[in-house]
Structure 1
Amino acid sequence: MLIGYVSDEYYMALADVLVEFRQQEQTTAIVRTTPRGSIEAELSPGEYEVILVKPGFGSKRVWMTVGNGAPSPYQFRLLSDRLLGYAWPRAIQSGEQAEFKVHSVEPYRLSLWRYGCKREFVKLLGWFDEHAARAVMQITPDGDYTQTGVNWNTVGYGSTHHTQLVTGPERSGLYYFHAKTESSKEFFSFPLVVSPSIPKAKVAVLASTNTWLAYNNFGGRSNYINSNQLPPEPSINVRQDLIRFTKAGSFNSWGFQDEEYTPLSFERPEPGNCVRENEEVTDPIEGRLPSSLAPAEWRLLGWLEREGFEYDYYAETQLHHGKLDLDAYEVLIISVHPEYWSREMFEKVHLWVHQRGGKLMYLGGNGLNCEVEFEDESRLRFKTWLQPETGGELGMPNPANPEEYLESRMHRSYESEASLLGVVCTASGIMTAAPYRVVAPDHWAFEGTGLSQGDEFGHESLHERIHGGASGHETDKISPHSPSGTRLLAKGTNPNGGGAEMAYYETKSEGAVFSVGSICYVASLIIDSTLSRITSNVLRRFLNDSK
């Protein structure tokens, strides 16, 4: 009979796992998993202690019920022998505490660093070991822990003397924990957002923490992989098993109704947010995910500090939950790929810009494209249903009125992001990169650049995934829903008219929005002098700085 399946932290089937079932301290069966990761055993109904062992993975004991109405098949989860970690909460205020939760099969050294213009060593947190072999190994829950979080530092962490807490430093910013193992010298880093206890700067910068979550498939789910829920069986070959790859169309994993998407938990490691051990802010951004997540956002922070702009740093969760007072700031900067916003976030910033004179700099691409709902402070639900007429589109006809075109998922569930950003992402130009071309050389944003009509700028880039210029990866354009008076300043030279549109508009309340419409923009900002001057011109104007 089928008892259950065994899978790893990516919900990949594990074959040849040795499994022992015990009742009343007696072994009742010893079996091995099949190539599908399934456990087949003839067991009587009742309570069992189950021991699972496989080389390269952490062994563990599980207590489960067979039969008697218990859920079946049971999903056993094992964690591979690798270095991982995360901080919880992911974002804190200065003076608050976060707990670091690290998985390692050998002793490791942990330190804290601040990431700005330079990597700054903050302090050594110590060496961590617990006498016994593999004692700092963590255990993942069984089942779908993408919904609940992994809840590390729980099993066997009862000592009141061996706490794993760090207090948020006085200086706001992006911090990283550096973990390194004793013998294998394996390295892993994980971020911590530290906001000020009280506002100190005139500029607030928002980390795209909702996007970090959306792309995190640790546990086997993200908003792109098994986005609605885990399937009944773990994967053997994802290209053959996952609907992202097996059904026609680029966004088939978003074909479910909003209510069918189960939540995703922030409380999981984020391997895609790891920065390399000796990486500097002007180094190329290696890998697929880092170019869209915190490692890319770090380049903006480095540029701000190099140019002498002070800022306070916040997570999107803090904006949603009311821990960011927009009225305490003159400028809000969002960057790289702030794709997922709650309605509350959208409304707060929209009112601040349009009614209270706030200044918004949108230095990213495909932003505010999808509405999310916070289940609580640790979980998000993505309202990600999309049913385009063709597979690659980012919008869709309105089901209630086919004559109306909905520009995005945000437009479908709430309103077009163009009403705030001035631009909205489209499929044209996706997965390409190129420089911008000047359209409005008389605009003050180009002062001191020497640029004329038709000149190109933004050739340099640290973005290695989609290399070629500052306009790229995913690009936004002015739309019919952009505010009246939105002006096109420059446009990317990407093929098929797909270049990002640099846009600007002002509001009746003396608010203003500057948008660049490109994920690649920040990866160029810190190494392209012309891009730097344009961005500096805008920020200084927004701050009423005549320097």
Structure 2
Amino acid sequence: MQLYPIHPSFTVGDCFDLAVQPRSRFSIAIYQQQGGESMVWVSSVIVAGTRDVAAKLSNGRYVFESTHERKAVRYDEDWNWPTITVKLDAQGLGSGAYAAVAFEVNADGEPRTEVGRRCMARQPIFATPPDSDGMALIIARPRGPAAKIAYIVPIATYHAYNSIGGGSFYGDPVHRTKPQTKVTLLRPGGGLGAQLGYPDDAYDLRSPRQHFTHWDAKFIRWLHAHDFACDFFTDVDLHRATDLDLTQYSVMLSVGHHEYWSQEMRDHVARFIANGGNLAVFSGNTCYRPVDFGPSADINAIRTMNRLGESWPGYNESDLIGLSYGYGGAKYGVWNRWRRKWLKPEREPIGFTVRRHDHWVFEGTQLKDGDTFGAEDRLVGYEADGVPPVANGFEKLADSVQLVGWDVGGFAALGVFKPDFGSGANGGQVFNCGTTDWSRVLLDERASSHAVVEQITLNVMHRFLAGMKEGAATESLPAGETGGALRNQLAQTNAENA
């Protein structure tokens, strides 16, 4: 049972449209990503309208039955499925990342699948395949700014890798599709319910890459655990700048694998930084590939996304975020066409070596210059970004060894950057971790570098939120046993690698 949102985000309290698989009998439950690994049930729905869908109440629950014939669908055209217009049947729900879960039922409204039985019992759901095949990611925007942090969910990147309908921006060897330059956003798979032909993450097999659960869900869980309030938006909101006014926020978050950006997205973020806003990039391969969302006349009804090139000219996204994948590297695995599977997804143990331990980013970590953190956890990769060969003002605080044998084969880097937009001392800053795998280690308390990664993240978040000046104190993790054990572990690791 598949479905997708007509618009990837909606305003809290408003109705939103879901397109549903033809010739299906089903019910809908709404889940939210909060602080746990699983999404939690938060609401049923109130029906405000339908198109080619019958809706009736059975035992106090809506049972939907969609009509229309099932037709062949493509990767680049509106699937034009039957739609239901619904509203959350709950009070007090705020901005956040939600999933609409569709599950098949019989004529009496009883679920026919295990996922449906869990939904009916209001039990948590771990949103990975195959369960997520019946889910649609929907982002609830705030009605007005309610937090200091604007979190941008990378819907464009999720659709870029989704080959459902026969194509994506990449060749999918598993499903035998070829790379294309145009995809529709009106199909399943914008974060959940995708068809993916990418190799598994050898260091986190719980969820596939290019999937909401693999990237953003982890960071959202961390934000919940540390009581950081966020307002949530999507790439489309950032592109349009009608429902998102970045000037109302202190910090913008870019997380996981935020690869595909439009020029309008870049322009809005540049103005945000020039006016004193801070950009925290806990992502890798960030802003590397340019797209547009179709003719400007369709700005309020975005339906498609076009890939404009392999990269920005001269990797000039580094003028905005300090780094570029064009100077970093990646390691994916090897596709074996005879066995029809991905092999060798593992990477060498590569981390970051500290170059400026006295910088505020490293406060509370106990690190010294020359210490390496994250190697055992493969913190660098699977895609990582590096510093341009011509100095651009990026302050490199840590870097990797050369990524020999990787795609590109450069050096990963981590640091801070103040773009030159002519705004002088009033301009904001960028922190860029330079790796896709930051969220994975941040959420893994068993990782050897977890404490360091978490402390750096706390330092960035608190300083950017408070607008602190250089040299001001930041909140640190407890010292003592944790810090001492961390120092001893790092010393032993560095001695072994010497």
Q: Which residue of 2 aligns with 1:57?
A: none
Q: Name the aligned partner's letter for residue 186 of structure 2.
A: E
Q: In structure 2, give the amino acid aligned to 1:524.
A: V
- CA shift, 1:543, in A, is 1.4
Aligned to 1:153: 82
Instruction: Tell me which amino acid in the other structure corresponds to 2:417.
Output: Y
Partner of 1:166: 87
Task: Report the AA paired with residue 531 of structure 1.
Answer: V
Is 1:483 matched up with 2:392? yes
Contact 1:139–1:152, Cα closer than 8 Å, also in 2: no
Q: Partners in 2 of 1:359 and 1:346 — Cα distance?
A: 14
Letter in 2 for 1:474: E
Task: Specify the SS of the correspondent of 1:221.
Answer: coil
Is the alpha carbon distance of 1:268 and 1:451 closer, same or farther for their aligned partners in structure 2, counting shifts above 3 Å? Answer: same
Corresponding residue to 1:521 among 418, 424, 438: 438
1:373 to 2:292 alignment: yes
After TM superposition, the score normalised by the length of structure 1 is 0.64
How many residue pairs get aligned? The number is 387
- How far is the alpha carbon of 1:351 from its aligned partner? 2.4
Separation (CA, whole Å) in 2 of partners of 1:482 and 1:288: 36
1:419 and 2:341 are equivalent in the alignment: no
Q: Which residue of 2 aligns with 1:504?
A: 416
CA pair 90-285 structure 1, distance change in 2 beyond 3 A: farther
* 1:151–1:116 Cα change, 3 Å: same
CA distance in 1, matches of 2:69, 2:217: 31
> Partners in 1 of 2:396 and 2:272 — Cα distance?
23
Q: Which residue of 1 aligns with 2:43?
A: 123
Instruction: State the alpha-carbon separation in 1 of the partners of residues 427 and 319 from structure 2.
Output: 16
Match of 1:175 among 88, 98, 108: 98
Using a 3 Å threshold, how does the CA distance of structure 1 residues 287 and 294 change in structure 2: closer, same or farther? closer
Give the AA of the match of 1:316. Answer: D
Q: Structure 1 residues 106, 505: closer, same or farther in 2, change over 3 A?
A: closer
Residues 439-492 of structure 1: CA deviation (Å, up to 9, x unaligned): 2211111111111222232367xxxxxxx42221111001046632x1111224
Quote how far apart the aligned CAs of 1:209 are. Answer: 0.9
The verdict on how the C-alpha distance between 1:100 and 1:451 changes in structure 2, with shifts beyond 3 A counting, is same
Contact 1:176 1:189 in 2 (8 A): yes
**2:126 corresponds to which residue?**
none
- 1:167 Cα deviation from its structure 2 partner: 4.1
Higher-Rg member (1/2): 1
Counterpart-to-counterpart distance in 1, 2:22 and 2:374:
42
One of 306, 309, 316 as aligned partner of 1:382 = 306
Structure 2 counterpart of 1:311, from 220, 230, 240: 230
Give the partner amino acid of 2:42: V
Q: Does 1:455 align with 2:401?
A: no
**Structure 2: unaligned runs, 5 residues or longer:** 48-52, 57-63, 105-110, 116-130, 195-202, 333-346, 445-449, 469-473, 476-498
| Structure 2 length-normalised TM | 0.70
Q: Give per-residue Cα distances to partners, 1:177-224, cap 9 Å, x unaligned.
A: 233332343543221111101011111110001111111211112111
Q: What is the deviation of 1:105?
A: 6.4
Q: Over aligned residues, Cα RMSD in angstroms?
A: 3.2
Query: Does the CA contact (< 8 Å) of 1:85 and 1:103 recur in 2?
Result: yes
Match of 2:13, as an amino acid?
G
1:445 corresponding residue in structure 2: 361
Q: Which amino acid aligns with 1:344?
A: E
| Cα displacement string for residues 342-381 of structure 1 (whole angstroms, at most 9, x for unaligned residues) | 111111111221x211111111111111211121333334
Aligned equivalents of 1:487 and 1:351: distance in 2?
A: 21
Distance in 2 (CA, whole Å) between partners of 1:349 and 1:335 is 15
Give me the whole-angstrom Cα distance separating, in 2, the residues matched to 1:332 and 1:304. 13
Distance 1:138 1:359 in 2: 48
Match of 1:53 in 2: none
Q: 1:238 to 1:217 in 2, by over 3 A?
A: closer
Secondary structure (helix, strand or coil) at the match of 2:329 reads: coil
Aligned twin of 2:148: 202
CA distance in 2, matches of 1:138, 1:333: 41
Does the CA-based 8 Å contact 1:338-1:366 persist in structure 2? yes
Q: Which amino acid aligns with 1:502?
A: L
Q: Determine if the alignment matches structure 1 residue 216 to structure 2 residue 162.
A: yes
Judged with a 3 Å threshold, the aligned counterparts in structure 2 of structure 1 residues 519 and 345 are, in CA distance, closer, same or farther, namely: same
Counterpart of 2:336 in structure 1 is: none
State the partner residue of 1:264.
183
Do the aligned residues in 2 keep the contact of 1:297 with 1:336 (CA within 8 Å)? yes
Work out whether residues 215 and 255 of structure 2, in 8 Å CA contact, stay in contact via their aligned partners in 1: no
Identity %: 24
Distance 1:429 1:212 in 2: 18
Whole-Å separation in 2 of the counterparts to 1:297 and 1:499:
25
Gaps of 5+ in 1: 1-82, 155-162, 227-234, 245-252, 255-260, 276-282, 387-408, 461-467
State whether residues 285 and 296 of structure 1, in contact with CA within 8 Å, keep that contact through their aligned partners in structure 2: no
- CA displacement at 1:296 relative to structure 2: 1.5
- 8 Å contact from structure 1 (residues 108, 129) kept in 2: no
What SS does structure 2 have at the residue aligned with 1:543?
helix
Partner of 2:484: none
